[in-house]
Structure 1
Amino acid sequence: MKTIGEAAAELGIDAHVLRHWEDAGALTVRRDGNGYRVYDDGALEQARTVLKLRRVGLSLPEVVAAMAPTKSAAQAVVRAKIGALEGEIVHRQQAITFLQHTVECRHRYLDDCPDCAAFAREA
């Protein structure tokens, strides 16, 4: 059993983050007789899962949905996030391709280059 401060220190986050996760419904924490939060192994494991999901890019509402009691509901959220991340990869690869071209472009001004103009029309 750990206090909120001890749990936060173990996870490497601030205590207010744990409170926020609990308020948002992503974390369930038991209270002792005095109303203090008590983090048992289950709550710590749940917090680790929330932390990992946040670090891979899920928003807090997405985390709550991804931790849904039904596997199909959780999978739908994760699949949607995978699709969004794949879209970001494509967009960033296009940006890299354009920037690499601008570095290697023989034209003094990008407006003079037909390839740069084609990239600009695609955006």
Structure 2
Amino acid sequence: MKTIGEVATELGIEAHVLRHWEDAGALSVRRDGNGYRVYDDDAVEEARTVLKLRRVGLSLPEVIAAVSPTKSTAQAVVRAKIAALESEVAQRQQAITFLQHTVECRHRYLDDCPDCATFVREA
């Protein structure tokens, strides 16, 4: 059994984050006879899962849905996040392509370059 402080330190987060996850329903933690949170191995693993899902970009409501006991609900949330991330990657790749062109562009001003103007119109 671990305390909230021990788990927070192990995961590299603040204890208030664990409390917030619990309050939001993303994490369930047992209490001892004095009302203190006690984390067994399952609760620590659950917290680790929530942390990983948060770090890959899921909001707390999305995390709650992603760990839903209903597999179709969880899959729908994860698929939606994948689509959003793929869209973001495509947008960032377009930004990189545009910026690489501006670095290599032979025109003094971007407005003078037909390729730059094409990039601008695509946005």
Is TM (by shorter chain) over 0.5? Answer: yes
Amino acid at match of 1:13: I
2:53 alignment partner in structure 1: 53
Cα offset for 1:65?
Answer: 0.8
Please say if 1:76 is aligned against 2:79. no
Letter in 2 for 1:64: I
**Within the alignment, does 1:119 sit opposite 2:115 as a pair?**
no
- By how many angstroms is 1:59 displaced? 1.1
TM-score between the two structures when normalised by the length of structure 1: 0.97
Question: Hey, what's the Cα distance between the residues in 1 that align with 2:13 and 2:104?
Answer: 44
CA distance in 2 between counterparts of 1:116 and 1:7 reads 51
The amino acid across from 1:94 in the alignment is Q
Gaps of at least 5 residues in structure 1 are none
| Percentage identity across paired residues of the two chains | 85
1:15 is aligned to 15
| Segments ≥4 residues shifted beyond 4 Å | none
Shift of 1:60: 1.0
Measured on the aligned residues, the alpha-carbon RMSD in Å equals 0.7
1:13 shift after superposition: 1.1
> What is the alpha-carbon distance in structure 2 between the residues aligned to residue 104 and residue 12 of structure 1?
42
Structure 2 residues without counterparts, runs of 5 or longer: none
Distance 2:23 2:93 in 1: 38
Quote the residue 1:105 is aligned against: 105
Aligned length: 123
TM-score after normalising by structure 2: 0.97
